[in-house]
Amino acid sequence: RQLGVEVRSELNNDRFPLIVDAKKLRGGKTRLSANKSSQFLTSLLMIAPVTQLGIEIELEGNLISKPYIDITISVMRAFGADVINEDYHSFKVYGSQTYKPRNYQIEPDASNASYFFALAAVTGGRVRLENLSLNSVQGDIHFVNILQQMGCQVISKNRAIEVVGTERLTGVDVDMSEISDTSLTLAAIAPFAEGKTTIRNIEHIRWQETDRIHAVVTELRKLGVSVTEYDDAIEIEPVSEIQPAEIDTYHDHRMAMSFSLIGIKKPGIKIKNPGCVNKTFPTFFDVLAGLDQQATYEI
C-alpha cells in the first residue's frame, strides 16, 4: 500500500486471503520490518529493478538473517541488476533495470548439508561435500566453524568441504542469529557433547514453520535431556543415556532432519511424519539410509 498497490483482505481484517488488483507498480519509498523474516525484504528487492521509479526501503528495527540478503543481492547482481545496501539499514534499487538471462550454477544447499556434517561429528565419521567452499555466500556454511569449535576437523580444498568427527565433542556457547536454520542441527547433537551447549539470539525461529525453540525443547525432554528454554535461547545439558521416544515433527522439515541424527546415534528413536522433509529435501531419508557409517560420505 505504501508503494501504491491496491490490496484488500477478503474478510476486511487485513489477513489472508488477500485480493491484489494487478496494475503497474511504479515504485517509491517504503518502510519494512524484517525482524522476524528476511524474506519480506528479499521479495521487495527482487521486484524493485523492474519498477518504473525503483524502490527505496528503510528498515524498522533489526534485520535478521543478513546472509540471506547477501544471497539475494548476489543473485540480483549476477543477472544484471544493482542494489545499494546502506549498512543493512536501508536499500536503494534504481528502476527500469533489466534482468539479463545467463547460465547460472546453483550451489549445493548449505543448510541441508549441515545434517551430514553433523552426522560426521556425532558418529566420529567423515563427510565430504563437493562443489561447496567456505567462501560460499550462504551463511549456513559457517555451521562447520561451530563443529570445529566442538573438536571436529574441517578441511576445505578443491571446492569441497570435509568434516572429520571426533571421539569427544565439546559443548559450545554460540550466537546463531545469522545461521538460525542450523540451530536445530546443533541442538540435536548437543546432548552428546561434554559440557553445556548454549544457542543464543534465535527468538525469530519461533515464527517459522513452527515455534522451533519450544518444539526442540519439548522433543529433547522426551529423550531425557535437560534443557532450559529462554525467549531467545536454549541451554542443553549433556546426557548419559538417551531415552527411546517418538519425535513429533510439527510439520517442520528441519525438526525431522535434525532429530534423525539422534536416531543414527542411538536406537529407539521414531520420527513421526517424515514426509515433511519434502519441503526442501524429498530424498533425505533415502540418502541417509544409503550411507555406510564406516565410509567416506560423498553427497
Active site residues: 181
Q: What is the DSSP letter of 132?
A: -
Angle between helices 110-123 and 253-265 (to 10 degrees): 20
Cell 536406537 identifies what position?
A: 267
CA–CA gap between residue 103 and residue 180 (Å, rounded): 30
Q: In what order do the strands lie in the sheet with 160-164?
A: 153-157, 160-164, 126-130, 296-298
Residues facing 164 on adjacent strands: 126, 153
CA distances from residue 267 to 50, 136, 270, 277 in whole angstroms, order as listed: 54, 35, 9, 21
